[in-house]
Amino acid sequence: MRYRTLGRRGPEVSVIGFGAMTLATGIYADVAEDEAAEALRAAVDAGVTFVDTADIYGPGASERLVGRVLGPRRDGIVLATKFGGDHDEEGRLVRGLGRPGYVRRALEASLTRLGTDHVDLYYLHRLDPTTPVEDTVGALAEQVAAGKIGHIGLSEVSAATLRRAHAVHPITAVQSEYSLLTRDPEDGVLAACAELGVGFVAYSPLGRGLLGGAVRSREDMGGGDWRRGNPRFQGDNLTRNVTLADTLATLAAGQDVTAAQLALAWLLRKGAFPIPGTRRAAKARANAAAADLDLPAAVFEELEARIPRDAVAGPQGDRNYLTNIDR
């Protein structure tokens, strides 16, 4: 494993983290808690020190599991969680979750579930359209001063919003979906992060299971799987995207690495901190091992030539999902 500073002012973290969304039932498929705990321990045993969760995963179940499993190892973990991403039954963002009073309540609830007195990185999960981001970041800054938050993060925000927030208090990290299949951060957010000294954290770095080969047909997704409603996992879009995953797998085999490892190495080359999630201990170890790969530049050039930015079929989410992303 390799380690570097998250942004200009952040903590030192493993360059590959662990995203704990998949450890909770209700998002992709049912989860066996013992299996989930084993995957999380395997990642940490492999050198991962950067663990990311959120209050809506479960809801709350992921935070409780992370707190229980990593409690004895808390001092060696950079722990991140998020607030403000709650949705109604139609998938619309709940309004008002960026207000200062809610920030304080959400933080206290997360600390209780995590079994800790502070969180190292606390993100606003989605921009609250009813609250100026300056007010939300001001409330977060108060919690930094109180010692309950180490660093402030934002998720799925535009470069303009990042600059407004950063003017109130330094932002340590921005987290957005970024992978070979989702390249939107290249439109300005990555450049803004580099300019301001903000670390960029890539969630769903394996295309929600597509790039690693976990999903090849609708039969690979259970009845309650969130992806069944995602345009990229439907009909001809899914067929096209599986073909792209096959291209990645072929290139990876030529380097004697897995498709997931090559996809993660591509993100590391871009300067991102990917946080892949998995419920399998073996995959957690394999993902962590991608940090130590030393592949020729020509491999990445061929990868981008064969899977260009506009290759993916379908948007990253439905209309409600996209409405909640600050562009």
Instruction: Write the pLDDT tens digit of every residue in 6-22.
Output: 999 999 999 999 999 98
CA 106 distance to own-chain centroid? 19
- Which CA distances in Å does 178 have to 129, 243, 290? 23, 19, 17
Q: Using alpha carbons, select from 6, 69, 10 the residue that is nearest to residue 36.
A: 69
Q: Contact at 8 Å (CB) between 81 and 55?
A: yes
**DSSP-H helix ranges across the chain:** 33-45, 61-70, 100-114, 133-145, 159-168, 189-196, 235-254, 259-269, 281-289, 297-306, 319-323
Banded pLDDT at 224 (limits 50, 70, 90): confident
59 prior amide bond cis, ω within 30: yes
Is the predicted pLDDT of residue 68 greater than 90, yes or no?
yes
Domain 3-211+260-293, CATH among 3.40.50.720, 3.20.20.100, 3.90.79.10, 3.40.50.11270: 3.20.20.100
Q: What is the pLDDT of residue 201?
A: 98
Per-residue pLDDT of 118-162, as tens digits, reads 999 999 999 999 999 999 999 999 999 999 999 999 999 999 999
Q: Is 57 an annotated catalytic residue?
A: yes
Say which of 3, 28, 57, 123 is annotated catalytic. 57
Per-residue pLDDT of 273-287, as tens digits, reads 999 999 999 999 999
Is the predicted pLDDT of residue 28 greater than 90, yes or no?
no
Q: What is the pLDDT of residue 264?
A: 98
**DSSP-H helix ranges across 46-98:** 61-70
Distance CA 211, CA 259 (A): 7
Banded pLDDT at 29 (limits 50, 70, 90): confident
Determine the average pLDDT of the residues in 65-69.
96
48: which strand partners?
A: none
Per-residue pLDDT of 70-128, as tens digits, reads 999 999 999 999 999 998 887 889 999 999 999 999 999 999 999 999 999 999 999 99
| Residue ranges per structural domain of the chain | 3-211+260-293
